[in-house]
Amino acid sequence: MKLLFTGDISLYNIDYQNFEFSDTFKKLISCCSLVIGNLECPITDSTLKEENQAVNMSASASSMKLLKPFQIVSLANNHIRDYKSQGIKDTINALEREGIRYFGAGKTQNEALEPIEIVIKGFKLALLGATRYSNATSKNGGGTARDKITILSRKIRRLKKEGYFVVPYFHWGYEYIRIPSPRDRKIAHRCIDAGADLIIGSHPHIYQVIEEYKGKTIVYSLGNFIFHSSVFKELSPIEKDPRLNESFVFTVEVKEDHSYESSIYGFHTNDFGIQFYNDTKNKKLISEINEVSAILKGTRLAYLKAYYKLTYDISKQNIRVRKNFQNFQKLDLNNKIKVYRTANLQDLKNRMWGYFLSIKNIMIIWRKKRFLKL
């Protein structure tokens, strides 16, 4: 059984009639039993937007012609509720009309947490989707599965006992950085401890490191697959960031004993299509991925130092988004609380280290100026 995973797919603003997949991709998917990705925009004509989003994305049912290569998509992401519960309902209806299966979202938490269970020629596959964003609640009429590790662990253990090859697909982490957070790593490791065979991630919009843990692979972020550049025009901290246009798809060929061999296929994506790399350029990309992934093979202290060096930029970006795109200062207290409702301990640690590093940088600059005066 050969599975292919892609990263984030948003059909928002995409010219679906002229968008092109390269022949390399078409040839690759013809060799795979299932193609799986993360659909990060609702398929809806609804105009009732979710408030306090940095950007609200949607696409028409006609744009789904670009999803023809896919048999399954995750809906566990921070944009699937951009047009509230109606957007989710419309998306699910559109997917069902096209015969595309989905996971990671539903009318309730219990429904969203239900995995897809597939049996093909005796091979049993289970996929779970989870995120801390846009979660289904008893009041909002539908949303995503929450990434609560205790619940996910129970589901993974049950699926392994029933003989499934189990793949959690998470939407997690912090945007525009290569290194996963300690929170992400903890969740990933706990899932594998419970029996997960492979872990796939998305959300940062660029690829992140790959980790081997207890003989299992964790792909922390597959970056963008289809995503229009207009979304990042003001949101991205780096203007025309080339990392947004480069990533890879990840394939696994699974054997009867659930061991597997994986491959990386790099590509360049833009507003008009996806062009896969030739062998020379693909080897270069794999080398770069291995180089950045080496941080997880060293000591935990070295990893934490590398990660927390990024938290100043993470904190600045989050503040900028809230100020410029969520009009945080103009919100009443109730809506301010809503903006922060997904905050967790990792966010607080990021902010703390962000302040510490900013003060440290100010002190270094002050000392340099003082020394020059002397």
- pLDDT 10s digits, 191-213: 999 999 999 999 999 999 999 99
- pLDDT 10s digits, 89-132: 999 999 999 999 999 999 999 999 999 999 999 999 999 999 99
- CATH class of residue range 2-296: alpha beta
Residues 305-321 have a mean pLDDT of 92
- pLDDT 10s digits, 155-169: 999 999 999 999 999
* Span of 269-273, 289-293, 344-348 with lowest mean pLDDT: 344-348
Instruction: Find all residues with CB under 8 Å of 120, minimum gap 6, and list them.
Output: 1, 33, 34
Strand ranges (E), the chain:
2-9, 20-21, 34-39, 72-74, 101-103, 105-106, 116-120, 123-131, 143-144, 165-171, 198-202, 210-213, 216-219, 224-226, 246-254, 260-269, 273-276
Q: What is the dihedral of CA 46, 47, 48, 50, to 10 degrees?
A: 100
Tokens matching residue 55? 């950007």
Distances (CA, A) of 273 to 6, 125, 226, 227: 15, 30, 8, 10
pLDDT band at 177 (very low <50, low <70, confident <90, very high): very high
DSSP bridge partners of 237: none
Rounded CA-CA distance 19/257 in Å is: 39
Q: Where are the domains of the chain?
A: 2-296, 310-373
Tokens matching residue 204? 């940062």
How much is the pLDDT for 362?
Answer: 58
Share above pLDDT 90 across residues of the chain, in percent, rounded to a whole number: 84
- pTM to 2 decimals? 0.94
3-state helix, strand, coil in the chain (%, to 5): 40, 25, 35
- pLDDT 10s digits, 218-277: 999 999 999 999 999 989 999 999 999 999 999 999 999 999 999 999 999 999 999 999
3-state secondary structure of 209: coil
